[in-house]
Structure 1
Amino acid sequence: MKSIKVAIVNYPTASQTAVHGLTEAMAIANTICAQLEVAVRFEVNTCGLDYLDTQEQAMVVVLPPCINDDFYMKENLPLYQYLSTMQQKGAVLASACAGAFILARGGFLDDKFCTTHWRLADSFRSTFPSVKLNENAIIVNEGNVITAGGLMAWLDLLFEVVSMFSSPTIAQRLSKEMVVDSGFREQRFYRQFVPKRDHGDELVVKAQDYLDANYAKPISVQAIAAHFFVSQRTLQRRFLTAVDFTIIQYLQRLRLHTACQLIELTGKAITEISYEVGYQDISAFRKVFLREFGLTPTEFRKRFSANRTNSEFS
C-alpha cells in the first residue's frame, strides 16, 4: 500500500472550509481507492505555523486560500524554510487562491507559470513582476509546484493532486461522489469588471460617471475630452494612470459587464442585448465577448443564466 502524506498548512487567516474540506475529501478519495482496489491512501496532516515538522516528510504541502491579506502579504521566513526543505526532499508544493502569494514571496514560483484569483491578478503582477501569471487558468501544474485560482479552487487542487498520486479515474469518481464539476473551466468565465473608484482623480471620476451614463451611445475620446474641456492626451494619460485601462478598454469592459448582467438576469435575445449595450454589429459583439470571457454569449447564458428554463437562448 502506497501512503501519500499530505500536509495542509493551517496558517493565520486560512480558510477553514478549505482546510477541513480537503481533509474530508481525501478521506472520501481513500474510500474510492479501496472500492476500486487501488493501493494508494492519502494520509492528511494539518499543521499550524508552530508545528511545521521538517522531519516528517510530506509528498504534498498545501497552502489553502485565505479570508484576508493579513498573512499572505507579509514575509514569513520559517514557513519559507519549511517549504524549501519539503521541496528539496521531493514534495510538491500546492496553493489555492492567495496561497500563490506565499509561494511567490518565498521564491518558489521563480521562472514558473502560476495562477491566483482573478481579482488579485493586478496586485500579484505589481508585487511579483517576474513571475509568469495566467489569471485565466483554474489550475497550473508545473510538476513540483501546483497553483489553483479562485477561493473555491481548492476543489480543483484536490482533484489535481488525487489524479497525480492515484489516477484520473479516482479523481473523476471523487468529483461525481461530491457532485462537483471537474470539467474544463477558466477563471475568465467568472471574471467581473470592478473599476477603480478610489484613485482620487476628480476628472477621471467624472469621466467614469459619463461613461456609466452613456456607454450605449457612440462615444469617442475626442467627445469626452471636449465635454470636460481638456485635451485628449491629458484625459487619456490621467485615465490610464488612475484606472489602468485606456478609455476605449474601459468602455468595452463596461459594455460587456452590462451585457453579462442582461444575459444572466433577463430573457432578452442576444441581438437585442448587443444593441442595448452599444454594439450595432452583432458579430463584432460575439467576437469580443468570446475573446474576453472564453464563452460565446449563448454559452454564457446556458452556464450562468438565472432563467435557465427560459427557452430564449438565441
Structure 2
Amino acid sequence: MTIDFFKMTDYKFAIIQYPNSLLSAVHGFNELFSLTNNLCQKDSIPIHIDAHILTLELLNSDTPYHAIFLPPSIDKHAYQSSNTLLAKWLDQQHQSGAILCCACAGAFFLAETDAIQNRKLTTHWALADALKERFPKQQLDTSKILIDQGDIVSAGGMMSWMDLGIALIRRFTQASIVRQLGKTLVVDTGNREQSYYRQFTPRFDHGDSKILTVQHYLQNHFSQTNSIKMLADIIHLTPRTFLRRFYKHTGWNPIRLHTTIAHSNSLQ
C-alpha cells in the first residue's frame, strides 16, 4: 500500500533550543520524531510530524504549532533567569491551540507563562525547591514522572524527555507506532500504554478561538461546578449554539468533558 500524500496529516512540532539547553534532548526529540515518520511511512499511515528546532531568535508568532517542547538543561543560569519573550510566545501559541510540553528544567520556562496559572507541574526532584522559591504559587508534584493535562504536559527527570516525546507521539499517531518505537529503541512502553494512553485527548487545534477559551477554562476550573448556560455565557453564545459548536470541534459534550477532566486530575 502506498500513502496518499493528498490525505497526509501534517503536525508541526517546535523544539525550543534555549541557551545551554541539553542538546542530547533537543536532537533526541528531533530524531524521535524522525523515526516516528519513518515508521508511519513503512506502515502506510498518512501522518507526518514536521519538527522544527527553534532558537529564541527564531520564535515567530505567525507560525502556529500543534505541540511545543521545552527540553532540560544542566546549567542553572539557563533556566533560572526570566525570559518574558519566550513566555509571551508560549502564551500566544497556547491561545492558538498548541500543547505546551516541558521536561525537567524546562518547567521553569513554562511556570513563567499565564497558561500554567492554577495548573500542576512536575520537574526533577532536585529542582523543586528552586522552582517553588521562584514561583511560590506554582502547584508542583515531583512524585510524578509525567503529568498530562491535555494542553499542558510536563515530565520530571532529566531523561524524561523520552517519556514526554513518546506520550505525544501516541497522541498524534497510533499505539502500534509506539510499540515499534519501543522495540527499535529498546525501551519499555508497557507502563506508558497502561496509564498515559487511556487518557482522553480532546482536540485543541480546531481553530475556533471561542471554544478553545472554554476548553482552557475547564482545564483551569475542573473542581468547580459548571453549567451549559454558564459556559456559553463566557463566550457570549446561546446554549444551543455553544453545544453544537463545542461538539463539532471536540467531539465531546462540555459537561461530560468537564467530568472527565476532573476525574483525570484526581488520578494525577
Q: Indicate whether the TM-score tops 0.5.
A: yes
Unaligned runs of at least 5 residues, structure 1: 186-314
Say which of 93, 96, 106 aligns to 1:99.
Answer: 106
Please state whether the residue corresponding to 1:176 is helix, strand or coil.
helix
The whole-number CA distance in structure 1 between the counterparts of 2:122 and 2:170 is 19
TM-score by length of 2: 0.66
The answer to whether the 8 A contact 1:115-1:149 is kept is yes
Is residue 61 of structure 2 the alignment partner of residue 54 of structure 1? yes
Larger radius of gyration: 1
Please state whether the residue corresponding to 1:146 is helix, strand or coil.
strand
What amino acid does structure 1 have at the position aligned with 2:20? Answer: T
The answer to whether the 8 A contact 1:33-1:40 is kept is yes
The whole-number CA distance in structure 2 between the counterparts of 1:78 and 1:93 is 16
The answer to whether the 8 A contact 1:159-1:175 is kept is no
Is residue 155 of structure 2 the alignment partner of residue 155 of structure 1? no
How far apart are 1:54 and its partner, in Å? 1.3
Q: How does 1:143-182 map to 2 (within 5 A)?
A: 143-182=150-189
Q: Which moved more, 1:78-87 or 1:166-175?
A: 166-175
Which residue pairs with 1:14 in the alignment?
21
Is residue 126 of structure 2 the alignment partner of residue 119 of structure 1? yes
The whole-number CA distance in structure 1 between the counterparts of 2:151 and 2:117 is 12
How far apart are 1:9 and its partner, in Å? 0.7
Please state whether the residue corresponding to 1:70 is helix, strand or coil.
helix
Unaligned runs of at least 5 residues, structure 2: 1-7, 193-268
Please state whether the residue corresponding to 2:62 is helix, strand or coil.
coil
The whole-number CA distance in structure 1 between the counterparts of 2:51 and 2:166 is 15
Which residue pairs with 2:211 in the alignment?
none
Q: How does 1:1-314 map to 2 (within 5 A)?
A: 1-184=8-191
What's the RMSD between the two structures over aligned residues? 1.4
The answer to whether the 8 A contact 2:79-2:108 is kept is yes
How many residues get paired? 185
Q: Tell me: higher relative CO, structure 1 or 2? Use CA pairs within 8 A at least 6 residues apart.
A: 2
The whole-number CA distance in structure 2 between the counterparts of 1:52 and 1:121 is 28
Poorly superposed stretches of 4+, deviation over 3 Å: none
The whole-number CA distance in structure 1 between the counterparts of 2:21 and 2:141 is 23
How far apart are 1:125 and its partner, in Å? 2.5
The whole-number CA distance in structure 2 between the counterparts of 1:169 and 1:129 is 41
How far apart are 1:17 and its partner, in Å? 0.3
Change (3 A) 1:183 1:132: farther
What amino acid does structure 2 have at the position aligned with 1:102? Answer: F
Q: Deviations over 1:121-178 (max 9, x none)?
A: 2222333232221101111111111101111111001101101111222122212211
The whole-number CA distance in structure 1 between the counterparts of 2:59 and 2:154 is 21
TM-score by length of 1: 0.57
The whole-number CA distance in structure 2 between the counterparts of 1:86 and 1:109 is 13
Please state whether the residue corresponding to 2:94 is helix, strand or coil.
helix
